[in-house]
Amino acid sequence: MVKAVVAGAAGGIGQPLSLLLKASPLVDQLALYDVVNTPGVTADLSHISSIAQIEGFLPENDGLKKALTGADVIVIPAGIPRKPGMTRDDLFKINAGIVKGLVEAIAETCPDAYILIISNPVNSTVPIAAEVMKKAGKFNPKKLFGVTTLDVVRAETFVQVHTGEKDPRKTVIPVIGGHSGETIVPMFSQAKPKVNIPEDKLDALIHRIQFGGDEVVEAKGGAGSATLSMAYAGFRFTESIIKAAKGESGIVEPTFVYLPGVEGGEAIQKETGCEYFSAPVQLGKNGAEKVENIVAKASDYEKKLLQKCYEGLKGNIEKGVEFVANPPSK
């Protein structure tokens, strides 16, 4: 039996993510939680002829606790989306508080569940979740993940014009670092099979992967951000977690983790100076089994990108830690 929970299920990412999870044969029970509109989304999805039994909850009547009870995997897309002209820092204050509240409830109700964080800014919200779990004495670094799969999905898609590969998923590109702007570092030197990108096209390709979110925000004319592609990426990562938990081996996904708590993480921490970092992680029955030190394999071009990444990432991480240590006054 696998019970999955979507916290923020009525939102732009939450709805398509809930649809994909409801349709997945890997999910037996699906609980949807949001502060508004959950009953409608639940009723709509409940008509789909798939395995997952579905329930929806609102905050009243202890709804969050009921949604989380018995959960195996919790995916958190809750929060507000980025609007044009809005920095990820503007998002931070609002979404940081939302994530903190949800994770406090997880620590109390289902501390052993896998926690998958989509809420931006991921570089800060994952450290917030970790600090909340530490405070509660319930932190398991092998089960806390920042979902950076959208960067991987974009890299696979945007490189297609250079590879000519019909199915973009067949090109494996590790994307490492963080999950915003210059903290996102696609490692084309480590692509499998090898990819040849013309030198004069590389800068533009990297920039498009790093700032792909802006492309969508602009195209939607301020009416939303990357919700459908993020839901797909979030689902893809959630499926990998469930498959690994069920015993499937050989599953490797880049994801943003707490390095000191995962085997192989200390070497990356030493090299990057960052406590949290996204790198290819081998997933297993207990979550993050091992993280690959791919940083050591960076080309000279990638090393320059990584230097910028470390600078940005350290500040983002500190911001998250600080938010829990000294919460802003209401």
Positions annotated as catalytic residues are 151, 179
Q: What are phi and psi of 82, to 5 degrees?
A: -80, 135
How many other C-beta atoms can be found within 10 angstroms of the C-beta atom of residue 94?
12
At 55, give phi and psi (nearest 5°): -135, 150
Q: What does R_g of the chain's alpha carbons equal in angstroms? A: 19
C-alpha span between 153 and 167 (Å, rounded):
12
Q: Give exposure, 39-63, as e/b (b: 16+ Cβ within 10 Å).
A: eebbeebeeeeeebebbbbbeeeeb
Q: Is 185 in contact with 156 (CB distance < 8 Å)?
A: no
Cα–Cα dist 213/200, whole Å: 23
**Are the beta carbons of 274 and 313 closer than 8 angstroms?**
yes
Instruction: Compute how many other C-beta atoms are within 10 angstroms of the C-beta atom of residue 297.
Output: 12
Check if the beta carbon of residue 205 is closer than 8 Å to that of residue 158: yes
